[in-house]
Amino acid sequence: MYELLYLIAVSALFGYSMKVADLLDEHGLKWFRDADLLMGAAWGAFGSLLVLYDAVMANILLAMIAGFVLRRRLDYENHVLASMLIVISFLLFAPFDYTVFLPFFLVFVIFGTLKDYYDDVLHGKGWAFVLTEAMLYYPIPTAIYGVLTGAWMPFVAFTTYTLAYDFTKLAYLRRGIG
């Protein structure tokens, strides 16, 4: 039970810190000087804790970061700081497993790129915008992985991360930020 609560807490903080780091960079949120770097470090620290959770989680997170690189989503110093902390943690503490990494990497890149195109190029609105903003390409493949392997913790982590990220975004949008 404690393990599940730990995973939910770390995943929620990962999603929250990722979104706040983004809001501090390009969406008008102001806290204090270097708050963006502090939130980037927090994002990286919580991501590193997820890497340390187990090898499957570590490979899925590496796939997420590699997808961000390919999609050119690491466009601010705090994004790079967070990603470096996660990758360094992976290199120090996790074994690479291409059977986990590759399918998740492909899903994250394909569906993430479609989201980027819809949002950034087409400036989508309506139900399709809400659907792409929900980032279902994180919880759905981890749910499929859970069905196939019986390992459900990645689903718990990525669903919690997605919910925390989306609710943080929504809370700040209601305040006119984002």
| Mean pLDDT, residues 119-132 taken together | 78
Q: Is the pLDDT of residue 112 over 90?
A: yes
Q: 83: closest CA among 51, 113, 131, 125?
A: 51
Is residue 103 within 8 A of residue 62, CB to CB? The reply is no
Domain limits for position 79: 2-174
- Kindly report, residue by residue over 54-101, the tens digit of the pLDDT: 999 999 999 999 999 999 999 999 999 999 999 999 999 999 999 999
Greatest pairwise CA separation for the chain in angstroms:
46
Once rounded to an integer, what is the mean pLDDT over residues 149-156?
A: 98
Q: What pLDDT was estimated at residue 27?
A: 83
Domain tally, the chain:
1
Phi, psi dihedral angles at 94 (to 5 degrees):
-125, 145
The count of residues in the chain is 178
Position 123 scores a pLDDT of 76
Residues with Cβ within 8 Å of residue 149, at least 6 apart in sequence: none
With 0.85 as the threshold, say if the pTM is over it: yes
